[in-house]
Every structure is written in structure tokens, then in C-alpha cells.
Amino acid sequence: METTEQNGNTLNGRRASTHKTINDLVQLQELLVARAQQAATNPQARLEQLEQNIQSLFQSLPPDVASRFKRIEERGPLAIVPIANGICSACGMSLPVSLVHTVHKAETLHQCPTCGRMIYYREAFARRVRQPAAKRGEPPKIGIERFSSQELMIPQLVSGERDDVIRELCMKLEHEGFVDDGNKLFEEALKREAIVSTAVESGLAFPHVRGVEGGGLTLALGLAPKGVKFGNGAKGASKLIFFMAIPTAASAFYLKLLAGLARTFEKEENRKKLLEATTPEKLWKTLLKLTKSTIQ
């Protein structure tokens, strides 16, 4: 009896330790992605606190796990990814059912047998359920058309508060049928904002959620002519808010998109043209025109 109880306690302790390690790894990866985002949108930004948080998390990991994480990260942008419907969300390969069950138990860390990334099981999460529709006879979509549409343009956001603005964009994605749960998307977006503000120079903000599986990257755009304060570290108020729902496999492309948007709208004349749009149709056409040469 005592042996059974001791074994149970040992197993529960091992699971608790693994869960903590997984949470630390996921948080570390989010910090690294946030650093890459800052580099893509504002190369001159001072990131001392972000660097300190990254180093602190690295040092808190078991040495063997930290070494494994670094080795995997050197090969690609992500080192730990969730399982989505029995598939590695990074490489898209199906995993053996037995491995999926074992990963779910979280008694130890496991890696995808195909791409070598660390994998973990994630509870219910917002999913991507629709792609921007193409009409019959239309030429193939190019540029920003590939992951957004006129339906996702909001020329006048209702609120002037950060959280309400993010919620409005998340619910727009749900209302138009692009994600299945706007509230879950909103919760994850606020967790991302807690790491470091997604607002950058020139009145731009890029709130987002990574790991929204089930389709491609999706972008919604909302305008706030009076500006929205995104955080104490943000300079000025954000007037152009680009919200992105990003599948794991599109994490690297998302940074390229981010850089293209930042490059386009660092120019005051381009920001002014967007802010002059008064309808979703005008906003969409202006966005397409301004990003034609910067987003391929």
C-alpha cells in the first residue's frame, strides 16, 4: 500500500516538474519571438529587460533541457511546438497514437520523430476555420490578399482602450467565420501583451496570437484615429492596429509580414492614407495598394 502511494506521489511529482519545464520553455520561446519581432519592426529598440528575462529563464531550466533547446533552436525558428489533432504543428507530420498519448501524460519531455522539435500537449485553443475566399474566375491571390479580406477591415474601432480594441478585433475574426472562438483568442492575445507590448514606433501596433492551427495566417486591421495606448513602454498612441492569428508553421513568415507592414507604414503619408478610409471597402483597397511592393 505504501509502495503504491509512494509510486503515485513520485509520478505526480514528475508530471508537475515536466509541466513546469514545458511552461518555462514555451514562455522562453515567446520571449525569443518577441525579441525577433522587435528586431523586425524597430531595430533600434532598447531591449535590456527582455534580454534579462530571456537569460533568467534559460538559467532556470535544467542544464540538459537548456542545451537541447539551444541545439534545436539553432536549426530553425521554433524549438517547442504543440501537437494539433495528432500532428506536429511545426512540420505537419502525423505522430504515432502511442506517442500522442505519452506526450499527453507529460511524465517527461518528448521530441517529434520527424523534425526533432520538442512537442507538448495543449488544452483547448482557438482554431482557424476559414481561408479568405476566392471568387470564381479570379486570378490567384497575391501579397496581403492571401491572408486577409475586406471583411476583416474596421475603419473605426469602437473603443479607445487596449483590451477592448483587441477584443473587438478577435470577435471580428470569429463573427466573419475565420476562427472558432474569439474569446479564447482574446485571452491568448492578452497573455502575449503581458510579455512585452506589441506597439511600435509611428503609431503602429501588432497584437497577435501564435499557434492558431487549422489554416493559414490571418490578419485583421482596425483604425483608431484618436489613438490607443498599448502600454507604459509604448511610445505615443497606436492608430493602426494589425491583429494576426498565426499558425505555428507560419511563425517565420509572420516576421517577414511584420517587417513589410512596419516598412510600409513608417511613412507618414501612408499612415495618413489609411486613416482617411471611411469604409471597409476603401480601407481594403488602400491597404492593398500601399503594400503591393512591400509584401509579396
Q: Looking at domain 2-121, which CATH architecture does it have?
A: Orthogonal Bundle (1.10)
148 to each of 63, 247, 256, how far by Cα in Å? 42, 14, 16
Structure confidence at residue 137 (pLDDT): 60
Structure confidence at residue 37 (pLDDT): 86
Q: What is the arithmetic mean of pLDDT over 88-108? A: 93
What is the per-residue pLDDT across 253-270, written as a single tens digit (0 to 9) for each? 888 999 999 999 999 999
Q: Looking at domain 143-291, which CATH architecture does it have?
A: 3-Layer(aba) Sandwich (3.40)
For the chain, the distance separating the N- and C-terminal CA atoms, rounded to the nearest angstrom, is 65
List of E strands, the chain: 80-84, 87-88, 110-111, 118-121, 153-154, 199-200, 204-205, 208-210, 218-228, 238-246
Report d(CA 221, CA 204) in Å as an integer. 11
Q: What is the arithmetic mean of pLDDT over 66-84? A: 92
Q: Are 221 and 245 in contact (CB under 8 A)?
A: no
Confidence of residue 195 (pLDDT cuts 50, 70, 90): confident
In the predicted model, is pLDDT for residue 233 greater than 60?
no
State CA 19 to chain mean position distance.
21
In the predicted model, is pLDDT for residue 8 greater than 60?
no
For the CA atoms of 259, 142, 286, 160, what is the dihedral angle to 10 degrees? -50
Residues near 220 by beta carbon (within 8 Å), at least 6 away in sequence: 148, 152, 153, 154, 169, 172, 173, 242, 243, 244
Structure confidence at residue 235 (pLDDT): 60
Q: Are 161 and 148 in contact (CB under 8 A)?
A: no
What is the per-residue pLDDT across 17-70, written as a single tens digit (0 to 9) for each? 999 999 999 999 999 998 888 888 877 667 788 899 999 999 999 999 999 999
Task: Give the three-class secondary structure for 142.
Answer: coil
Of residues 126 and 219, more confidently modeled: 219
Structure confidence at residue 90 (pLDDT): 92
In the predicted model, is pLDDT for residue 91 greater than 80?
yes
In the predicted model, is pLDDT for residue 2 greater than 80?
no
Confidence of residue 170 (pLDDT cuts 50, 70, 90): very high
75 to each of 49, 70, 72, 114, how far by Cα in Å? 26, 9, 5, 13
State CA 96 to chain mean position distance.
27
Of residues 235 and 34, more confidently modeled: 34
Q: What is the arithmetic mean of pLDDT over 188-208? A: 91
Structure confidence at residue 50 (pLDDT): 85
Structure confidence at residue 143 (pLDDT): 86
Confidence of residue 114 (pLDDT cuts 50, 70, 90): very high
For residue 154, list its beta bridge partners.
Answer: 222
Strands 208-210 and 118-121: unpaired
Q: What is the arithmetic mean of pLDDT over 206-231? A: 92
Q: Which is nearest to 168 in space by CA: 176, 181, 180, 158?
A: 158
Lowest mean pLDDT among 81-90, 130-139, 238-247: 130-139
Grid cell at residue 88: 506536429
Structure confidence at residue 3 (pLDDT): 56
Report d(CA 25, CA 119) in Å as an integer. 11
Report d(CA 84, CA 264) in Å as an integer. 34
Q: Residues spanned by CATH 3.40.930.10 within the chain?
A: 143-291
In the predicted model, is pLDDT for residue 139 greater than 80?
no
Structure confidence at residue 234 (pLDDT): 52
Grid cell at residue 54: 530571456
Structure confidence at residue 47 (pLDDT): 77
Backbone angles phi and psi of 54, in degrees to 5: -65, -50
The mean pLDDT value of the chain amounts to 88
